[in-house]
Amino acid sequence: MQPLAFVDLETTGATAAVDRITEIGIVTVDADGRVDEWQQLVNPGQPISPFIEQLTGISNAMVATAPPFAAVAGETLARLQGRLFVAHNARFDHGFLKHEFKRAGVRFRGPALCTVKLSRALYPEHQRHSLDALIERHRLQAAARHRALADAQLVHQFWQIAHRERTPEQIATAIAAQNPPCVLPPQIDPALAEELPETPGVFELRDAAGQALWISRAGNIARQLSQFFAAPEKTSRDRQVRERVQHIVWHETAGEIGARLLEARLRALSPPSLQRPRRNHSGPAPRWPFAGPAALRELSTLHLVDQWCYLGTAETPDALPALLTAPRPGFDADIYAILSKHAGQLTSLEARS
């Protein structure tokens, strides 16, 4: 049997690039079946909101004397290395750990398996596949929901039940479907495939001189890049992109809005040579409904806007002053088209203060 690590994290929020881990729970299963469990509170270095405290039961007082992630990175990595990483919504937990390891100067790689997707594949007759749904359907024994080790134990229980109720062939097929090989051009280091994040953002394909050939937003950077290169060549432009690309650069965002805004900004700053030109941007800006700058919240980030001009995205409140004092960009019709769809969500900074 392949060694396994069933993982669950508690965090200060939902955005790996901004929020931090507050607790780690890992259940390891060795090839001989030996099981070991580990749980560790982590000082996130940022406040835990009342909502998150109520959800997880982890308070600021509980983590005040806990070690930061950098201090437990070695122990965490040792428990994960050489194992299949298994989690419920693995994209979340795996992504958070990749960011935390990166901040600690540690390279973290390895395949991940999502039990949400596994449940959908093995039990397609059911509509719901959340952890609460699995608890109810499979009568899993929960010691304490939304604590890291307890939730990791639940994932382990589901894994055991699935292996009793489904054939090895069914399980092997479901697992293989989750981890198709990432397709990249032959001149790109194949090891890059393990670095690509499964998060929203923007990717840039650049030539040998570093000039942009193609810039595109993605709901899942790793998956969309692989699909991009795996698709059949329909035009000479498709062939040119594959032949000329030498560098792949990506930028993670909190969600789709941030990806759209960043894509528009990057295409304006460095027009990609193999994509269609952007629209005509002449003309005055439409009337701005606020007396000053406004913010558009997306998860834990704030997109700062003034006069329909995108000033940037603040991942923390401390980043707002620098964005407000930076040189202002001109009006951009593509940016306006994105922001106008969310006009009702804009909030004056004066009202927020």
Integer angstrom CA distances of residue 198 from 223, 327, 349: 7, 33, 32
Asked if the model's pLDDT at residue 282 lies above 90, the reply is no
146 pLDDT band, cuts 50/70/90, is: confident
- Domains of the chain, with CATH numbers? 4-178 (3.30.420.10), 190-269 (3.40.1440.10), 294-352 (no CATH)
Tell me the chain's radius of gyration from C-alpha atoms. 23
Alpha helices in the chain (DSSP H): 50-56, 60-63, 69-80, 90-103, 115-122, 131-138, 148-165, 168-178, 221-230, 236-244, 256-269, 320-325, 333-340, 349-352
Q: Is 131 helix (H, G, I), strand (E, B) or coil?
A: helix
- pLDDT band with cut points at 50, 70 and 90 for residue 132: very high
Is residue 350 pLDDT above 80, yes or no? no
The mean per-residue pLDDT over the stretch 267-277 comes to 92
pLDDT of 317 > 90? The answer is no
At 280, the pLDDT band (50, 70, 90 cuts) reads: low
Q: Does the model's pTM come out above 0.75?
A: no
CA atoms of 137 and 130, how far apart (whole Å) = 10
217: which strand partners?
202
Is residue 27 within a helix (H) or strand (E), and if so which, with residue range?
strand 21-29
Q: pLDDT for 213-266, tens place per residue?
A: 999 999 999 989 999 999 998 899 999 999 999 999 999 998 899 999 999 999
Q: pLDDT at residue 299 above 70? A: yes
Task: For residue 351, name the pLDDT band (cuts at 50, 70, 90).
Answer: low
pLDDT score recorded for residue 353: 56
Look over the chain and give the mean of its residue pLDDT values, rounded to a whole number. 92
pLDDT of residue 116: 97
Query: Which structure tokens are listed for 231?
Result: 């698709």
Question: What is the mean predicted confidence (pLDDT) over 137-162?
Answer: 93
pLDDT at 165: 97
